[in-house]
Amino acid sequence: MNTPERYQENDKYRFFFEKSADAMLVIEGYKFVDCNKAAVQMLQYDNKSEMININPAELSPEYQPDGKNSEVKAKEIMDIAYEKGSYLFEWIHKTKSGEEIPIEVSLTAISTENKKILHTVWRNISVRKNAEKERNKLKQKLYISQKMEAIGLMAGGVAHDLNNILSGIVTYPEVLMYNLPPDSSMHKSLKIIMESGERAAAIVADLLTVARGIAASKKTCELNKLIADHLTSPEQIYLKKQNPNVTLNINLTTEVLMINCSPIHINKSIMNLLVNAYDAVNSNGIIKITTTRKYLNNPVRSYDNIKKGYYAILTVEDDGIGISNEDIDRIFEPFYTKKILGRSGTGLGLSIVWNTVEDHNGYIDISTGQFGTTFNLYLPTADNPDINVTPGTVNANYAGNKERILIIDDELIQRDLLCSILSMLNYLPVAVSSGEEAIEYLKSNSAELIILDMILGKGLNGKETYERIIVFHPGQKAIIVSGYSNNSDVIETQSLGAGAFISKPYNIKTISKTIQEAL
């Protein structure tokens, strides 16, 4: 190639080098000796002279994402490129202002007699990395959602079976006490059995909350009052007594925070957050409870989309040990706990909080570090709160007047138990074990009320049974009794005309009061 042609080829290379949209740089030894305009713009320098004679590691944070020292790693990579002729890798570089950006780097060695020269092309891959993060975040959310759903299904099935068993343990002692003389020595033993069953039922209720399958009725309540009521509860008094060196600071807003909620689940969430905080401060620290009202129109951490509007915010903050990065993504999983087994509950506490907030269409924001943890619960405020609503009164005499009541339940123990209670309360019970039997009975008979289990084993379920009954008995009165049921099934059955929902196990007062209200 003659001299003019060689200069012509160099001019073409120079034009391509300067006009390339990708950042291009030339490294000689271990320093930059040339760069194009795109490289200057990418790293936000004023001109190329500022970048000349700089070691690439000087434009990098001290450590790369893999934990390796940038200066050491940069030299290793350049040596490999000199040896092999080329090298492709990803790197983190800093702009002049200190902003860190991910870059895909391609190194190509240029053969010379006496010099080590590398031609390098940089491409900003921030968009790709952000997309990968979003995909990974969505995958993680999907994984957690699927895992919670699977655990919920298992918990719901277990809870249903346990509640059927516990009904006998909780209610039969009450039936026996009802028929015993007031001075009978058996009262104390029966009461112990009944109270033990109720404690077991409370744990099962937690499982149902995790399963999110219990048809919890909601009503408009004032959040500050729910908190104040809990702070005077036996559970909170016990916690304070066990932790005399813990300071509890209460700062509730003066605004009225009306929310549409299940009071029992909000109360359990408050209790579990406080139990968690007391454990975190290890009997010596400060716990703060605050409430505020805020309008949300931007995403909350860990939630891509939110429903805009006003929210009541419950904040529980402690100055304890914080939550490790290893645990933060798993703290809401059922039975995931770092507490001492057998001394600190069932491992369902924060799962109940998470499921309750989800069921109330709210959000949870957590911040944690070496100096404590803060839980922020966002609960939608009621659109049209009726602060002056007062509950109606109910006649204290719950006995019946020989009304016929049809019991539909696939469990023999449940049918026998309910028949005993209804007979004792002066009703005329009739019991069947399936929806099909109930339909056949009601084709030629009538009942003032039906007591309907939602899950009936094989054949028709409770909702399907009621749908068929009201075809030939329009307006048939019914109440729903179940150890576990899908929210949508209960709500749809109630929309067809069925009345109240009672969860198993129940006591005599609850069932008798509900029957009287239905009749």
What CA–CA distance (Å, rounded) separates 46 from 138? 39
Quote the pLDDT of residue 343. 42
Token pair listed for 322: 């914080």
Query: Domain limits of the chain?
Result: 3-124, 137-211, 219-380, 404-518
**Weakest mean pLDDT among 109-113, 188-192, 225-229, 267-271:** 109-113
Per the model's pLDDT, the better-predicted residue between 209 and 258 turns out to be 258
Q: The whole model's pTM is what?
A: 0.46
- Burial state string for 254-284 with b = 16 or more CB within 10 A and e = fewer than 16: eeebbbbbbbebbbbbbbbbbbbbbbbbeee
Asked if pLDDT for residue 38 goes beyond 50, the answer is: yes
Q: Are 502 and 510 in contact (CB under 8 A)?
A: yes
**Weakest mean pLDDT among 17-21, 100-104, 342-346:** 342-346
Per the model's pLDDT, the better-predicted residue between 34 and 191 turns out to be 34
Quote the pLDDT of residue 391. 33
**Matching CATH number, 3-124, of 3.30.450.20, 3.40.50.150, 3.50.30.30, 1.25.40.10:** 3.30.450.20
Asked if pLDDT for residue 314 goes beyond 90, the answer is: yes
pLDDT tens digits along 373-425: 888 999 999 864 443 333 333 334 567 888 999 999 888 888 888 888 888 88
Work out the angle at residue 194's Cα, subtended by the Cα atoms of residues 188 and 197, and round it to the nearest 5 degrees.
145
Task: Give me the residue label for tokens 């490790």.
Answer: 324
The 3 state secondary structure assigned to 195-244 is HHHHHHHHHHHHHHHHHCCCCCCCEEEEHHHHHHHHHCCHHHHHHHHHCC
Collapsing DSSP to helix, strand or coil, 174 comes out as helix
pLDDT tens digits along 332-349: 665 545 554 444 454 566
202 falls in which pLDDT band (50, 70, 90)? low
The CATH number given to 219-380 is: 3.30.565.10
502 falls in which pLDDT band (50, 70, 90)? confident
Q: Are 73 and 93 in contact (CB under 8 A)?
A: no
Per the model's pLDDT, the better-predicted residue between 110 and 379 turns out to be 379
Per the model's pLDDT, the better-predicted residue between 440 and 279 turns out to be 440
Q: What is the mean pLDDT of residues 181-205?
A: 75
Other beta carbons less than 10 A from residue 502's beta carbon: 18
Quote the pLDDT of residue 152. 63
Quote the pLDDT of residue 398. 67
140 falls in which pLDDT band (50, 70, 90)? confident
Q: What is the mean pLDDT of residues 225-254?
A: 87
**Matching CATH number, 137-211, of 1.10.287.130, 2.40.50.140, 2.40.10.10, 3.20.20.450:** 1.10.287.130
Q: What is the mean pLDDT of residues 7-28?
A: 78
The CATH number given to 404-518 is: 3.40.50.2300
Q: Are 64 and 92 in contact (CB under 8 A)?
A: yes
**Weakest mean pLDDT among 125-129, 142-146, 355-359:** 142-146
507 falls in which pLDDT band (50, 70, 90)? confident
307 falls in which pLDDT band (50, 70, 90)? confident
